[in-house]
Amino acid sequence: MYPLNGATRVLCILGNPVSHSLSPAIQNAAISACDLDYIYVPFSVRPQSLGEAVSGLRALGVSGFNVTIPYKTAIMSYLDKLDESAAAAGAVNTVSISGDHMTGYNTDGHGLISSLADDLSFVAGSDSIVVIGAGGAARGAVAALCRAGAERIVLANRSYNKAVQLAAEMSNRYEKTCIKVSAQDQLSENHLNSASLLINTTSLGMKGDRISFVDLARLPKSAKVYDMVYSPAETPLLREATAKGIAAVNGLGMLAAQGERAFTIWTGKIPPKGLMKRVLQDICHS
């Protein structure tokens, strides 16, 4: 990396807390690999100081920044423009700064689509896709799948009404995709047998809990399973899928791909393929 100097361009991440963030490791690895005079640093920001922090970044000429919990929605009111990815997801995780102008993006959806292609050889089309969850991660996933050409999506969530609301919003925005809602107790019997892909967007599995209403035996053998949870590396959902001979991966590839997209938005450069994922794997396995 270049020695820090007055020409060094700054990238950062805002959140509270941010000490756990893996973004500095993957972004600085990409900066070094692309031989750029940049540096990426984490900033912990108190909720009452978010507006001041954004104004400060703008005044200091920071090139761009990531946004993590709990500010992915709150940050939107401080920006000048929202990319379609952010407007559809209702959340921002990446901001580019050009002069005084701030544009918000959501690269999580891009990360999902890229990871599905790279890690599972899955490309959205006429297949039926089942999405577990109706929160922020599900919103971004559904929007990205619709933009990628998915023709049929079935939502299943603990709160049925929340899933209905999400389906209605996305159906209005993406009219070419048929989005339906399933009650949890009817999912396995009525929808899994025709699904080509099952995506878990919830935190279920993070603490070793299984998704009780999903019977993977109902899935076709050719179906695939994607679990956005990446820590632990193998959730009960992934273990069960593997035991049944179903191709399945965790969300590490998505995390890497969304970081790659953010890096390109800021710098105009494409990081070496696989670099960010290798860095993440080294961290998670250390």
**pLDDT for res 2:** 82
And the tokens for 280?
A: 């993440």
**pLDDT for res 87:** 96
Low-confidence ranges of the chain (pLDDT < 70): none
> For domain 9-106+255-285, which CATH number applies: 1.10.1040.10, 1.10.1060.10, 3.30.70.100, 3.40.50.10860?
3.40.50.10860
Q: Which residue has the tokens 């919103």?
A: 139
Active site residue: 72, 207, 224, 244, which one? 72
The pTM (predicted TM-score) of the whole model is 0.94
Residues near 228 by Cβ (< 8 Å), separated by ≥ 6? 112, 137, 141, 199, 200, 201, 202, 250, 251, 254
For β-strands 94-98 and 64-67, DSSP reports them as antiparallel
Please state the domain extents for the chain: 9-106+255-285, 109-250
Which of helix, strand or coil describes residue 74? helix
How far is the CA of 228 from the CAs of 14, 54, 161, 214, in angstroms?
Answer: 22, 29, 23, 16
Nearest CA to 128 out of 185, 164, 179 is that of 179
In whole angstroms, give the CA distance from residue 220 to residue 226: 15
* Spatial contact of 28 and 36, defined as CB atoms under 8 Å apart: no
Based on the residue annotation, tell me whether 72 is a catalytic residue of this protein: yes
- The reply to whether omega before 232 is within 30° of 0 (cis) is yes
pLDDT mean across residues, the chain: 96
109-250, what's its fold? Answer: Rossmann fold (3.40.50)
* Spatial contact of 122 and 195, defined as CB atoms under 8 Å apart: no
**pLDDT for res 285:** 82
The answer to whether 9-106+255-285 and 109-250 have equal CATH topology is: yes
